[in-house]
Amino acid sequence: MHIDTYRFSYIEVNGHSYTSDVIIGPEGMVDGWWRKTGHSLFPGDLAMALEMAPGTLVIGTGHDGRMQVPEETQSFLENEGIEVRAAETGRAVELFNELQAQGTRVVAALHLTC
């Protein structure tokens, strides 16, 4: 999978356009990803991402970085043996593509707006 383009509320993956939050893994993706409390990311929000067996999870916290990744979530993922890389979504897209090109087993959970 390759992220071709990202801008506020829009992402293009392998030539297909999406306008809602996504989870992208090596073998596929989930469109319309949503979190129980919107701008906070908790372990239960990541069930679909964890099914993709990431070695590294790249979290896009939004165009302006408003989605929070609480310590509880980071600790949970680290205890599962998953490296966590959280950044504003524009940077997260770059990280995902870089790690993918290096052969890392990477999954991205991306908030596309705020």
pLDDT for position 57:
98
pLDDT for position 9:
97
Query: By the 8 A CB rule, do 72 and 43 touch?
Result: yes
The pTM of the whole model exceeds 0.75: yes
CA 41 vs CA 34, 45, 48, 69, 97: distances in Å = 10, 6, 13, 5, 22
Among 87, 99, 84, which Cα is nearest to 1's? 99
Burial status of residue 62 (CB atoms within 10 A of its CB: 0-12, 13-18, 19 or more): buried
pLDDT for position 38:
80
Query: By the 8 A CB rule, do 60 and 108 touch?
Result: yes
Query: By the 8 A CB rule, do 89 and 111 touch?
Result: yes
Q: Order the strands of the 106-110 sheet from edge to edge.
A: 29-31, 22-24, 106-110, 56-60, 83-87
pLDDT along the chain (114 residues), means of 10: 97 98 96 92 97 98 97 97 98 98 98 95
